[in-house]
Amino acid sequence: MRASPARPVLLQAALWWRGLPATALALIGACILAAIAPDQNYYLNVVMQAVTYAIGVAGLVVVLGYCGQISLTQAGFFGMGAYVLAILTVHQGVPFFLAALAAMAICGLFGLLLGFASLRLGGHYLAMVTISFQVILTLVLTNWIGLTGGPDGVSGIPRPALLAGTHLYLGFCLVMLVLTVFYTWRLKTGRLGRAMQAVRDNELAAGTCGINIFRTKVISFGISAVLGGLGGALFAGAFSYVSPDQFTFDESIVMLTMALLGGVQSPFGAVLGTFTLIILPEWLRFLKQAYLAVYGAAVILIMIFMPEGVWGWASVRFGRMPGTPGEGAVAPLPLFAVQQSEDAAPVLQVTDLAMHFGGVKALDGVSFTVRRGAAHALIGPNGSGKTTFLNVISGLYRATSGSVRLGNATLDGLAAHERTRLGMTRTYQNIRVFRGMSVLENVMIGAERPGNDARTAPEVMARALAALDFVGLRAEAMQPVGALPYGHQRYVEIARALAGSPDLLLLDEPAAGLNSTEKQELSQLLCRLKGHGLTILVIEHDMKLIEAVADHITVLNFGKCIADDTPRAVLSHPDVIAAYLGEPQAA
């Protein structure tokens, strides 16, 4: 049921080492760079600004690049971090490092609070909330004179005694930048980062993969605020003076531009964008008055021709695709962990389920049972409520009335990710894959289903590869999922659902959009799954496929269950023939 023990250990070591040697080199490079930096205040100030800003902009990579949540208040967190450090060190005499930690903690707290705003708001509304937060913060910094010193700001901010020299302090900031980049980069390829990207790419599908959408968003806000606070605290130490006009909404837009220009999907992009936007104007100063025009034009041109940012553009152009990890045999998919019991116990029990959209009764008192090991088909004319049924079962819609049980658990009132945790995975009529990610990452998200027995990173990877093997897409593992043909994307979705080792697999019209060869293949795939004892509930239009696969059929018509029996009985049922087939079925 698992890969042989030696392989996960090797894989674990490989995963743990990822990026560490490069980071060690970067740390050494950072120290050398700081040591040999020319001893001119002007030069050092520009670099210091770029380094501290880049740490703040890395926060935007997390919240916007990874999680897809628009935050227009990064300069707010940057300023909050700077002020907390300034006030604590200057007015309270708190040691620098302690004050910096407090700055990060306080920013993190406010970040989480702001994240709560993302619970119901998305897109434009969320953007507006973050703008308001930024504006309020500027007002507080300017007007709460007793605490912040008002428009005059706080001066005389000390550096830690050990790092008082400018070169030493710059070296420290560079080291923090390298660590930030390393952390942010590793975050992206870990479980939490994948969850964030899933939320960004397809929120609904993320929920039915078992991801707690709300928690993921809130954490992304928290992390971005902590990084903003760290950058700001270092900034305050660097310039020993802070004032409210350094952290206005304009500055948030500058940070956003830095992230987008460099490439918001990667911390390397953030660093590139920040350094470009801070150093470019300094280079262009020889142009005198024309420099702003040239600077503006350069930014606009980069944005037009490299919509993914400079780093995104370069990694598509020059990046090489990594080889499939864990070449060679993988342990088979542990479908067979699911015991096929003699008495065919109920897996899914639906009682009197109703779902009304205003006057439309999409589901109107549906009751039936799916038994263990069954390939149960749900059929019915277009608009009869099949997809609605699946959406209610999987927690995307809240039922008007009725109840649903999965095994021994009642699902009523549970959110999508909680239902998934209890052992149910699904696919969608209109494919919902995570477009920004590779085929393997898509399927790993499935394998990371809470409640699945694959827990460690190597186990998750092995499980995902096994699922890809099962659907015949192992060779495609490292491809961006959007590069696959439509039919293969359907298989990726099925593999994602299988990798979670569900007790119940829900398929919504898996054959839609497939050509006849692909339908044939799909039919064989489903028969293989059924042979392994997996319980399947499949919605399908293609009667050939249903006849090949199903051993029990439920028929919906106008939201009501009109038949529920063996295929032979159902397909000769007069109501079914009238409603669904339209005419008596030809032998």
Q: Which residues bind ligand ADP (CB under 6 A)?
A: 357, 360, 362, 380, 382-388
Question: Smaller CB distance to Mg ion: residue 49 or 429?
Answer: 429
Question: Smaller CB distance to ligand ADP: residue 386 or 432?
Answer: 386
Among Mg ion, ligand ADP, none, the one that 489 touches (CB under a kind-dependent 5 to 8 A) is: none
Query: Which residues pair with residue 241 across a beta bridge?
Result: 155
Smallest distance from Mg ion to CB 304, Å: 40
Question: Smaller CB distance to Mg ion: residue 459 or 540?
Answer: 540
Window contacting Mg ion (CB under 5 A); options: 49-57, 150-158, 161-169, 380-388: 380-388
Comparing C-alpha atoms, which of 391, 388, 418 is closest to residue 406? Answer: 418
Smallest distance from Mg ion to CB 426, Å: 13
Tell me if 529 sits within 8 A of 542, measured CB to CB.
no
- Tokens for 257? 């531009």
Question: Smaller CB distance to ligand ADP: residue 388 or 420?
Answer: 388
Among ligand ADP, Mg ion, none, the one that 166 touches (CB under a kind-dependent 5 to 8 A) is: none
Smallest distance from ligand ADP to CB 370, Å: 17
Question: Smaller CB distance to ligand ADP: residue 274 or 387?
Answer: 387
Cβ atoms within 10 Å of 325's Cβ, excluding its own: 16
Distance (Å, whole) CA 161 – CA 583: 89
**Residue 147 Rama label (left phi>0; alpha psi -120 to 50; beta):** alpha
Question: Closest-CB residue for Mg ion?
Answer: 387
Among ligand ADP, Mg ion, none, the one that 423 touches (CB under a kind-dependent 5 to 8 A) is: none
Distance (Å, whole) CA 15 – CA 122: 34
Distance (Å, whole) CA 447 – CA 191: 10
Among ligand ADP, Mg ion, none, the one that 573 touches (CB under a kind-dependent 5 to 8 A) is: none
Comparing C-alpha atoms, which of 361, 400, 404, 403 is closest to residue 384? Answer: 361
User: Taking CB under 5 A as the rule, which mask of x and - marks residues 416-435 in contact with Mg ion?
Assistant: -------------x------
Among Mg ion, ligand ADP, none, the one that 382 touches (CB under a kind-dependent 5 to 8 A) is: ligand ADP
Measured over the CA atoms of residue 218, residue 223, residue 228 and residue 232, the dihedral's sign is positive
Residues 6+ apart with CB under 8 A from 94: 88, 102
Distance (Å, whole) CA 235 – CA 251: 14
Comparing C-alpha atoms, which of 185, 257, 231, 217 is closest to residue 84? Answer: 231
- Per rule CB under 5 A, count of chain residues that contact Mg ion: 3
Smallest distance from Mg ion to CB 386, Å: 5
Verify binding: residue 387, Mg ion, rule CB under 5 A.
yes
Smallest distance from ligand ADP to CB 355, Å: 8
Smallest distance from Mg ion to CB 507, Å: 11
Among ligand ADP, Mg ion, none, the one that 50 touches (CB under a kind-dependent 5 to 8 A) is: none
Question: Smaller CB distance to Mg ion: residue 443 or 549?
Answer: 549
The angle at the Cα of 427, spanning 213 to 212, to the nearest 5 degrees, equals: 10
Tokens 């593992």 found at: 477
Question: Torsions phi, psi of 79, nearest 5?
Answer: -65, -40
Smallest distance from ligand ADP to CB 360, Å: 5
Among Mg ion, ligand ADP, none, the one that 360 touches (CB under a kind-dependent 5 to 8 A) is: ligand ADP
Question: Smaller CB distance to ligand ADP: residue 61 or 370?
Answer: 370
Distance (Å, whole) CA 182 – CA 19: 7
Among Mg ion, ligand ADP, none, the one that 486 touches (CB under a kind-dependent 5 to 8 A) is: none
Among Mg ion, ligand ADP, none, the one that 383 touches (CB under a kind-dependent 5 to 8 A) is: ligand ADP
Smallest distance from ligand ADP to CB 123, Å: 19
Smallest distance from ligand ADP to CB 383, Å: 4
User: Taking CB under 5 A as the rule, which mask of x and - marks residues 212-251 in contact with Mg ion?
Assistant: ----------------------------------------
Smallest distance from ligand ADP to CB 541, Å: 9
The CB-side HSE value for 585 (13 A sphere, CA atoms) comes to 18
Query: Which residues pair with residue 178 across a beta bridge?
Result: none
Smallest distance from Mg ion to CB 385, Å: 9
Distance (Å, whole) CA 549 – CA 529: 10
Smallest distance from ligand ADP to CB 449, Å: 25
Farthest-apart Cα atoms in the chain, separation: 91
Tell me if 196 sits within 8 A of 264, measured CB to CB.
no
Distance (Å, whole) CA 484 – CA 170: 46
Question: Smaller CB distance to ligand ADP: residue 314 or 360?
Answer: 360
Comparing C-alpha atoms, which of 357, 273, 274, 343 is closest to residue 309? Answer: 273
Residues 6+ apart with CB under 8 A from 490: 427, 431, 510, 513, 514, 522
Question: Smaller CB distance to ligand ADP: residue 158 or 383?
Answer: 383
Question: Smaller CB distance to Mg ion: residue 512 or 548?
Answer: 512
Question: Smaller CB distance to ligand ADP: residue 385 or 423?
Answer: 385
Smallest distance from ligand ADP to CB 382, Å: 5
Window contacting Mg ion (CB under 5 A); options: 329-337, 368-376, 386-394, 490-498: 386-394
Comparing C-alpha atoms, which of 18, 10, 17, 13 is closest to residue 327? Answer: 10
Question: Smaller CB distance to ligand ADP: residue 186 or 560?
Answer: 560
Question: Smaller CB distance to ligand ADP: residue 177 or 561?
Answer: 561
The CB-side HSE value for 335 (13 A sphere, CA atoms) comes to 21
Residues near Mg ion (CB under 5 A) are 386-387, 429
